[in-house]
Amino acid sequence: MKHILEIAKYPLILFIFSIFSFEISAQEGFSVDVNSGCSPLIVHFTYTAGGNPSNLSWNFGNGNSLNGNPSVDPILLNPSISYINSGSYTVTLTATTASGTTTYTSTNLITVFEDPS
């Protein structure tokens, strides 16, 4: 009972932990090798969610997207994308596996700075 009362003293900490846990899991579907730099920035994405996807749909936030079956087009598992214009970009990946469809979104994941030259 003492431990329950101690936890109840800190509801804000539990709330903050819940928010950050959600943010972390929302980005678990893919990783990047770099997320900021000067233009042109080439970013290598890697699908990390597992589950042998039958369809992957990428939206890279810069007008480029990829969609298809990775067993037919393996580049969908590890695409490389160029970002030319400065700004911040949100990346979304929708993966379909035998378990269902999951969408992973990472807001303002990529930041491109103007070329200083």
Q: Are strands 100-113 and 87-97 parallel, antiparallel or unpaired?
A: antiparallel
Euclidean distance between CA atoms 30 and 42, whole angstroms: 16
What is the phi-psi region of residue 16: left when phi exceeds 0, alpha when psi lies from -120 to 50, beta otherwise? alpha
Reported confidence tier of residue 2, pLDDT bands at 50, 70, 90: very low
Give 35-89 pLDDT, tens digit per residue. 999 999 999 999 999 999 999 999 999 999 999 999 999 999 999 999 999 999 9
User: Exposed, middle or buried by CB within 10 Å (0-12, 13-18, 19+), for 9?
Assistant: exposed
Could you give the angle at the alpha carbon of 87 between the alpha carbons of 84 and 92, nearest 5°?
85
Contacts of 55 (CB under 8 A, 6+ apart): 67, 68, 69, 94, 95, 96
Share of the chain above pLDDT 90, in %: 72
